[in-house]
């Protein structure tokens, strides 16, 4: 299974000119990378500025999508629009959307179903708060998020690319305080166990489970080698093509 390395640019950069430069810099930095699948998730409007010819090497993803494919849903983005703009992946259930926009597991469940129906590959984010971890509730929280978000998936998840779970402990995001690889490994194993109950053993074994939270070029390899993760979701450090390039090379 090729590692999946995702750049989540969040609400950056703030001009089209910079976005074009970002794409150009990433393309240069990652031109010889073959043994990893690299996906950039820029703000929606910049998807259209990315050179489609580069999409074969660097793939594109959305940072969210709505649970309907079209219609009167002001401000939302359709999975069909994302597909049309060249996206293969979509991040769903990011903790920032859960926190600032009140996204619930039920909403995320609907989004996953619509994304799969439209042949977009969901990257489902799960993770606990610091308080939940301190109270020993990590597994309970993750189990609830997975069970509710993946309830009654109607469209078969049939290949490794179809569904990715990103373990993103909320206390590790943007804090410079990453999860210890050993702790990430334990949660990763737990996620696979729960996936097996929900989706069956065969599919659970082929889904990617990746880590996100203060990843940089110094700690990235630990999550692949020690924590046995199948990839990384990178926020802050993905805003520098050079640092992102170092992260990708460090795990190969």
The minimum distance between CB 88 and ligand PEP, in angstroms, equals: 18
The reply to whether 18 belongs to the active site is no
Candidate residues 206, 214, 217, 230; the one interacting with ligand PEP per rule CB under 6 A: 214
Contacts of 101 (CB under 8 A, 6+ apart): none
Collect contacts of 24-29 with beta carbons under 8 A, ≥24 apart: 25/241, 25/242, 26/58, 26/241, 26/244, 26/245, 27/51, 27/54, 27/57, 27/58, 28/241, 29/241, 29/242, 29/244, 29/245
Alpha helices for 118-165 (secondary structure H): 130-134, 138-149
The minimum distance between CB 168 and ligand PEP, in angstroms, equals: 5
Number of residues that bind ligand PEP (CB under 6 A): 13
Q: How far, in whole angstroms, is CA 21 from its chain's centroid?
A: 23
Candidate residues 150, 163, 234, 251; the one interacting with ligand PEP per rule CB under 6 A: 234
Question: Which residue minimizes CB distance to ligand PEP?
Answer: 235
Of 146 and 215, which CB lies nearer to ligand PEP in the complex structure?
215
For 81, 114, 124, the CA distances from 107, given in Å and listed in that order, are 19, 11, 12
Candidate residues 39, 233, 248, 251; the one interacting with ligand PEP per rule CB under 6 A: 233
Candidate residues 64, 103, 168, 222; the one interacting with ligand PEP per rule CB under 6 A: 168
The minimum distance between CB 190 and ligand PEP, in angstroms, equals: 19
The reply to whether 186 belongs to the active site is no
Q: Could you say which residues in the range 170-189 bind ligand PEP, by CB under 6 A? A: 173-174
Instruction: Choose the catalytic residue: 94, 103, 132, 161.
Output: 94
The minimum distance between CB 237 and ligand PEP, in angstroms, equals: 6
- Please return the burial class of 52, using the count of CB atoms within 10 Å of its CB with bins 0-12, 13-18 and 19+: exposed
Stretch of residues binding ligand PEP (CB under 6 A), selected from 15-23, 36-44, 54-62, 167-175: 167-175
Candidate residues 235, 245, 248, 251; the one interacting with ligand PEP per rule CB under 6 A: 235
Other CB atoms within a 10 A radius of the CB of residue 144 amount to 14
Q: Which residues partner with 87 through β-bridges?
A: 60
Omega before 13 cis (within 30°)? yes
Residue 251 is a binding residue for ligand PEP (CB under 6 A) = no
Contact 23, 54 (CB under 8 A): yes
Residue 206 is a binding residue for ligand PEP (CB under 6 A) = no
Binding site for ligand PEP (CB under 6 A): 8, 168, 173-174, 212-215, 233-237
Q: Would you name the residues annotated as active-site residues?
A: 94, 168
């Amino acid at each position: 299974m090729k590692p999946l390395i995702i750049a989540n640019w969040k609400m950056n950069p703030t001009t089209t000119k910079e976005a074009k430069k970002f794409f150009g810099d990433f393309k240069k930095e990652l031109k010889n990378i073959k043994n990893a699948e690299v996906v950039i998730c820029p703000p929606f409007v910049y998807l259209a500025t990315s050179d489609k010819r580069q999409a074969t090497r660097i793939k594109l993803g959305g940072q969210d999508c709505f649970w309907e494919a079209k219609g009167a849903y002001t401000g939302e983005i359709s999975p069909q629009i994302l597909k049309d703009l060249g996206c293969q992946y979509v991040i769903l259930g990011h903790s920032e959307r859960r926190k600032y926009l009140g996204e619930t597991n039920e909403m995320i469940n609907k989004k996953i179903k619509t994304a799969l129906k439209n042949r977009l590959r969901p990257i489902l984010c799960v993770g606990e708060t610091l308080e939940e971890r301190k109270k020993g509730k990590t597994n309970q929280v993750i189990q609830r998020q997975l069970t509710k978000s993946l309830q009654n998936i109607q469209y078969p998840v049939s290949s490794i690319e179809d569904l990715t779970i990103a373990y993103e402990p909320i206390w590790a995001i943007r804090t410079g305080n990453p999860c210890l690889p050993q702790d990430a490994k334990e949660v990763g194993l737990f996620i696979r166990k729960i996936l097996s109950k929900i989706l069956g053993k065969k599919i659970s074994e082929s889904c990617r489970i990746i880590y996100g939270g203060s990843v940089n070029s110094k700690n990235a390899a630990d999550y692949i080698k020690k924590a046995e993760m199948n990839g990384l979701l990178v926020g802050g450090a993905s805003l520098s093509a050079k640092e992102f390039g170092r992260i990708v090379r460090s795990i190969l």
